[in-house]
Chains A and B, each alone.
Chain A
C-alpha cells in the first residue's frame, strides 16, 4: 500500500463530502419548493485492495443520490387530487349560483308579492289609473328580476364553458411537458440529483393533470411514465404524447372533449371524464345550472300563462262596446313559446297604455263600460293558488323551495369540499414527513459533512508529512 493511496483515499473522501454538502445545500434551498423530495447521497466503499493476505479498504465514493419518496402515497395523492379539485369546483360555483338566487340580492319573492298586492289594490279601486301604473311598474320590475337571474345563470354557463377550454389547453401543456421530462429521464443517467429533480417535476405535473381529470398512470422499465384516460385512451406513452381537442355540442353550443389520435381524428371522450375539475366544470354547466334555469323557466311560464288566461277575458278601460259584447282579449305578459325566463316582459299593449290593464270581467250592457273587479280579484288570488308541483305549491312555496334547494346543495358542496381538503391535508402531512426538508436535520448533516471534509483534508497533511519524512530519510 503506497502513500499515494492515502492521498487517493483523501481525495475521494473530500469529493464525497463535497457532494454531500452540495446535496444538503440543494435540500436547504428547496425547503419551500412544492413537490420537492428531499435527497440524500448514498456512500459506498471503494473495492478493497488485496495486500498480502489482507483486504484493505480503499476509501469511499458517492454511488448515487437517493430521493426520499413513497410511490404509493404519491399515487394516492394524485387520485385524491382528482376528487379534491372536482369538489372545489362544485363548492365555488354553487356559491356563485347561491349569490345569483339569494332572495336578499334578487328580491324575487317580494317582487312577486308586490305584483299581486298591486292587483289587490286594483280590486279595491278598479277605475284607478295610479294603481294601474303601479301594476305596470311592479310587473316590469318582476320581469327584469327574472331576466337578470336568468342572465346571471347563463353568464355562469358561458364562464364555465371557457374554463373547459382553458382546462383542455392546460392538459395539453401538461402532457407535452411530461413527454419532455420522460425523454430527459430516459436520457439522463439514473440516480443523479438532476434526474431526481426531473422526477419531482414530473410527479408535480402528474398531480396537476390528475386534478383536472381522472387518469391512470404507471412507470415502464426505463422510468418513463404512461398516462391513460379512464377509457384507455393514451395521453402520454414514453416519448409520445396525444392531445385533447374541443368539439362543439350542436344542441347546447357548448364544448365537448375530443381525443386526437395519431392521424388527427377526434373521438368524443366527454362521457369518460367522470371526475376532476374538468368534469366539475362540465357538470355544473350542463346539469346543475340547467336545473335552476329550468326552475326559473317554469316560474316565468306559470306566471305568464296564468295571468294572461285571466286577463284576456277581461274588459279594459279602453273597451269599445260591440253587439254582442266580447272581452278585449288583451294579454298582460308578452306571449312566449319558450325561453320564458329569458324573454319575459309585459305586452306592448300594456307598455303603451295602462288603460289596457283589465280589472273587470263583466261589462255594463247599457253603457259598455267595465263593471266590478273580477279580473283584479282573480289575478290577485293566483298568489295563493297551488300552481306548481301538481297543484300543491304556490308561488311562494315554489321560490322558497328553490332557495331551500340551492341552500342544501351549496351547504353539501362546501362540506364535501372541506372533507376532501381535510383528507388531502392529512395525506400531504404524510408526504411531507417522508419527502419534506427539515432545516434542523440538514443543519446537523451540514456539520457532519463539514467535519468529514475537515478530517479528509487532514489526511492530506498526514500524507504530506509522510512523504516529507520519506524524502528526508533518503537525502
Chain B
C-alpha cells in the first residue's frame, strides 16, 4: 500500500482527535465524580438512577409525614395521660364525697373542683398544633369542644380522622379523634357533669353511681393511652425502616453513578502517555522525508 503524505497526516489527526475525546471524557468524570453524565452513557443505568433519585425524594416526603405524625403523637400522649390523671382526681373526689361523713357544703365546694376538671378537659380537647386541632378529627379549622354555662359540652369535630401517606399506597390515620377519646362508649363530660350535679344536689346515691361511671371512663382512657403508645412506637419503626431504605438507595445510587476515581485517574494517565507518544512519533516521522536529504 502506498502511504502518502496526506494519509499520514490524516491518520495522525484522527488518532489525535480520538485520544483527545477520551481525555476529555475522563476529565469530565474526574471533575463531576460521576461515570454517567448523559443518558446515552448508559441508558438503562441512567433511567434506573433517575427512578431511585425520585424515590429518595418521595421517601423524604414520607419521612417528613411520619415525623410530623410523631410530633403530634407526643401531644396525644401528654394529653391522654393528663386526662387519665384528671379522671383519677375526679374519682378521688367522688369517693371522698360519697362518704357519709361529708356534708352538703363540702359537696358543694367539691363540685367546684369537678367544674375545674371539666374546664381543663375542654382545654385539652381543644389542643392545637400548628393550624390543626388535634382532637377535631377531619374538621381541623374550628374549635372541637365548646362548653355551655351549665357545663354541658358539645363536640363539633368529626368522629373520623384524616389519613396521610406514610409509604407508597399506604396511608396511616393521622391522629385520634376527640370522639374516641371523650365521647364514644362513655361520654366523659356527661359523667363528670352528672357528678357535678350530684354534688351540687347533695345526691349521695348519684355520687356513688358516678364512681362506677368514672371507672369505665378510666378504662377507656387507659385503652386510649395504650393505643397512642402503640401508634407512636409503630411510627418509630416506620421512620427507622424509611431511613434504612433511604440509606440503601443512596448506596445503590452511588454504585450506579459514581466514578471509581482511582481507576479513572489511572485511565487518564494512560491516555496522556499515549497522547505524548503520538506527538513524539509524529515529530520523528516528519524527519523521515527525502526533503531532508536534498540540498
Contacts and interface: CB of A to CB of B under 8 A. Distances in A.
Interface of A: 31-32, 94-95, 98-99, 101-104, 109-110, 112-114, 116-117, 120-121, 123-128, 360, 362, 364, 366-367, 369, 371-373, 377, 380-381, 383-384, 396-397, 399-401, 403-408, 410-411, 414, 425, 428-429, 432-434, 436-441, 443-444, 447
B57 A400 contact: no
Contacts of B263: none
B68 interface: yes
Contact of B1 (A369, A433, A447): A433
A396 B132 contact: no
A399 B158 CA distance: 40
Contact of B3 (A362, A400, A438): A438
A433 B2 contact: yes
A99 B6 CA distance: 36
A397 B156 CA distance: 44
21 contacts: A94-B40, A98-B40, A103-B39, A109-B50, A110-B53, A120-B65, A124-B164, A125-B131, A127-B131, A127-B140, A128-B131, A371-B138, A372-B139, A372-B162, A377-B165, A377-B171, A381-B169, A399-B50, A429-B7, A436-B2, A443-B290
Contact of B54 (A98, A109, A123, A360): A109
A408 B165 contact: no
Given A128-B131, A373-B162, A432-B10, A410 B39 contact: yes
Interface of chain A, main secondary structure: helix
B5 interface: yes
A198 B169 CA distance: 75
A384 B169 contact: yes
Interface of B: 1-7, 9-11, 14, 37-44, 46-48, 50-51, 53-55, 57-58, 60-61, 64-65, 68, 130-132, 138-142, 156, 158, 160, 162-165, 168-169, 171, 174, 289-291, 294
B294 to A, nearest CB: 7
Nearest to B163: A377
A253 B164 CA distance: 50
A369 B40 contact: no
A403 B163 contact: no
Contacts of B68: 124
B175 to A, nearest CB: 11
Contacts of A384: 168-169
Given A373-B164, A432-B4, A433-B7, A439 B50 contact: no
B73 to A, nearest CB: 13
